[in-house]
Structure 1
Amino acid sequence: MRNKLALCTFLLSLTVAYAFSQEKNKTKTSKQQGNPIFSGWYADPEGTIFNNKYWIYPTYSAKYEEQVFMDAFSSSDLRKWKKHPRIIDTASVKWAKKAMWAPSIVAKDGKYYLFFGANDIQSDQETGGIGVAVADKPEGPFKDDLGKPLIDKFHNGAQPIDQFAFRDQDGKYYLIYGGWQHCNIARLKDDFTGFLPHADGSIFKEITPQGYVEGPFMFVRDGKYYFMWSEGGWTGPNYSVAYAISDSPMGPFKRIGKILQQDPAVATGAGHHSVIHNQKSGKWYIVYHRRPLGETNGNHRVVCIDEMRFNEKGEIQPVKITFEGVAADPLR
């Protein structure tokens, strides 16, 4: 009798434990995806929306000689992500040999144009810079559109990397780019094969704000231009994001302050970001990379997403980086 009672108690405890574990798992999957949002070493993510899907285009984070391709990721709700491998690689860009970085993408006239940096050139005498590739679908495959770099020289001291393709409210397209603590803006031709002069006759206009290092990004909200960039060193814990606001994409941009940085309890090196706005829900998200706690390998970077909010003055509030990430936010 005593053995039967013990057996019954044991079986009951197993049943309760199983039910509890199932409920715990159900709760975890029904609430939100954690950070990082997908597995693998990735950095410099550009987030956007195409055809009622979220898309993220990151750098493959590895040694420069191994950065010879790019992957993309898509989601309908910010929780479940599908990987689209090798949307572009150096086999389709003959002049690119290594260090394919920081993709930026726009859709125009039924085509998708992917801007990217390659080769990490250190002078005007080297081959490389910023290129543009084209595809019929957001997942590619992308092919080199020019057969050569779009920008292959240093202008105003800006290394030709970290390009961001920006569509203004009037339909004009600009390329905002630059490393080595200098940032330029150039107006793109309609077919993205070159540039048109600004009103003052210049092609590359410097708009570098105080503290700028690299990773520019711009968006428009309530008629104002929010210009964002990364500060600090990309391999260090002080990597971060700051911003400014102006009435024009040309600036002037006066630094307001940092809105994304490390949290010693969560992760270090939070930077090189982009912004996604779901117009249906009204929510804004910042997509960025960071380094896991205790990691010393500079290339170990992962892509994360957290919500970005504004105060009543339209200023961006400091973002709290989290392990939890964001809740599902379907586009449909």
Structure 2
Amino acid sequence: MAYRSGRVSLALITALLAGPSGAADQPRGAPGSNPIVRDMFTADPAPLVVGNRLYLYVDHDEAKDGEMFTMREWLVYSTTDMKTWTSYPAILKVSDLKWAKKDAWAPQAIGKNDKFYLYVPVEHDDTHPGKAIGVAVSDKPTGPFVDARGSALITNDMTPKGRHSWDDIDPTVLTDADGTSWIAWGNGNCYLARLKPNMVELDGPILDITPPSFVEAPWLHRRSDLYYLTYASMDRAKQQKDERVSYATAPAITGPWTFHGELTGPAKNSFTIHPGIAEFKGRSYLFLHNAALTIGNQKGALGRRAVNVEHLRYNPDGTMRPVVQTTAGVSIPPR
């Protein structure tokens, strides 16, 4: 469960106040059980390992009844044991990006050049209508982050192939073994571009690497000599209405990509899902969200989601074993 800035979290307080029966809205559970954060609604998890600490970047769901998404800021939590989590003040708000007007959607952070770069999708102002991706920078993984450009890195008019105004969302960034950094993103189409060494400019053309059943939320990672593209998917031939997590692998980041099917099924109570993958202290983890958390009189909903984590395991050939979403999370060893 989460610990809030050096003091016991609201989740723990409510569990203690509930007495021996544990009859609170969200039972405490064993350390490492899901969800990770229980005192607010969070979504779109993006892990980053720095030394012996894992940082988890999320957005903050604040939707009231009848609202779809109300998201104004990005947050970060950290852990050294995957069971207790420390929180920090908001690391960036939409209002800090003077060219953006709303929608603090799925982020990802990466370290390079002795700095940390946070890539964030937002709704651009009317000078570039539609969703856009910005980049903020900090000297610390916990921020605060400041706008690194004073303008968007990617705007909707840069991807005319997209079928709608929100195809430029959900950035994921990977630095390859040769030091080259790449950014992938998209909804409907999955785009890929090289970043300049300064991490705040594109360096070359935007490529289309859309894999089968791709919807959104791409996540890039590399293990040995194999590249992984994990993402939220829907197989429309099967008339799926809720996102799953699927993945593809490739010998190079530009492909060709081999589709491996679903990694896990849909999220409880949420048609969206968002994968994030990290290796930490010798084990691999899959982060995602669902909408199974209740806080007070607010039940989980499309705009009120909760971040979860599960063990992730690989087969000898590099493929990932299917993941079952649980409430136990990482409170028990992988099986």
Task: Give the Å deviation of 1:85.
Answer: 2.3
* Partner residue in 1 for 2:5: none
For residues 206 and 156 of structure 1, the distance between their equivalents in structure 2, rounded to whole angstroms, comes to: 12
Q: Which residue of 2 aligns with 1:50?
A: 50
Q: Matched residues in 2 for 1:149 and 1:109: separation?
A: 21
Q: Once the two structures are aligned, what percentage of the paired residues are identical?
A: 28
Aligned to 1:86, the other structure's residue is in SS state coil
Trace 1:66-81 onto structure 2 (pairs within 5 A).
66-81=70-85
Equivalent residue, structure 2, for 1:231: 233
CA deviations on 1:281-318 (whole Å, 9 max, x unpaired) are: 2x110011112189673112100000011122221111
Change (3 A) 1:166 1:262: same
Per-residue CA distance 1:63-82 (angstroms, 9 max, x = gap): 47742211111111111111
Q: 2:290 is matched with which residue?
A: 290
Offset of residue 328 of structure 1:
8.3
Partner-residue secondary structure (3-state), 1:91: helix
2:149 is the alignment partner of 1:146: yes
Distance 1:291-1:59 versus aligned 2 partners, 3 A rule? same
- 2:253 paired residue number: 249
Is 1:299 the equivalent of 2:298? no
**Structure 1 residues 244 and 116, CA gap change in structure 2 (3 angstroms):** same
State the Cα RMSD in Å: 2.8
- 1:243 deviation in Å? 0.5
Give the counterpart letter for 2:34 in structure 1. N
User: Does structure 2 conserve the Cα–Cα contact (< 8 Å) formed by 1:306 and 1:322?
Assistant: yes
Matches within 5 A, 1:204-243: 204-232=206-234, 238-243=242-247
Q: Does 1:134 align with 2:137?
A: yes
Counterparts of 1:80-119 in structure 2, within 5 Å, are: 80-119=84-123
- Determine the C-alpha separation between the residues in 1 that align with 2:136 and 2:293: 36
The one-letter code sitting in structure 1 at the alignment partner of 2:31 is Q
**8 Å Cα contact 2:46-2:287 kept in structure 1:** yes
Q: Is the 8 A contact 1:32 1:325 kept in 2?
A: no
Partner SS state of residue 85, structure 1: coil
CA drift at 1:91: 3.3
The DSSP-based 3-state class of the residue aligned with 1:321 is: coil
User: How many correspondences in the alignment?
Assistant: 291
Q: CA 1:239/1:59 → structure 2, altered by over 3 Å: closer, same or farther?
A: same
CA distance in 1, matches of 2:202, 2:59: 25
Q: Whole-Å Cα distance in 2 between the matches of residues 192 and 315 of structure 1?
A: 30
Residue deviations 1:30-82, cap 9 Å, x none? Answer: 96321001122111110111232111101212347742211111111111111
Instruction: Tell me if the contact between 1:216 and 1:228 (Cα under 8 Å) persists in the aligned partners.
Output: yes
- Cα distance in 2 for partners of 1:129, 1:277 equals 29
How does the TM-score come out when normalised to structure 1?
0.80
Structure 2 gaps, min length 5: 1-19, 22-26
- Structure 1 window deviating more from structure 2 (169-178 vs 92-101): it is 92-101
SS of equivalent residue, structure 1 residue 271: coil
2:14 — aligned with what?
none
Q: Which residue of 2 aligns with 1:195?
A: 202
Q: TM-score, normalised by structure 2?
A: 0.79
Distance 2:106 2:131 in 1: 14
Separation of aligned partners in 1, 2:302 and 2:124? 17
Q: Secondary structure at the match of 1:187?
A: strand
SS of residue matched to 1:256? strand
Q: Which has the higher helix share?
A: 1
Please list every run of at least 4 consecutive aligned residues from structure 1 whose deviation after the TM superposition is greater than 4 angstroms: 28-31, 266-270, 293-296
Kept in 2, the 8 Å contact 1:128–1:149? The answer is no
Q: Which amino acid aligns with 1:297?
A: A
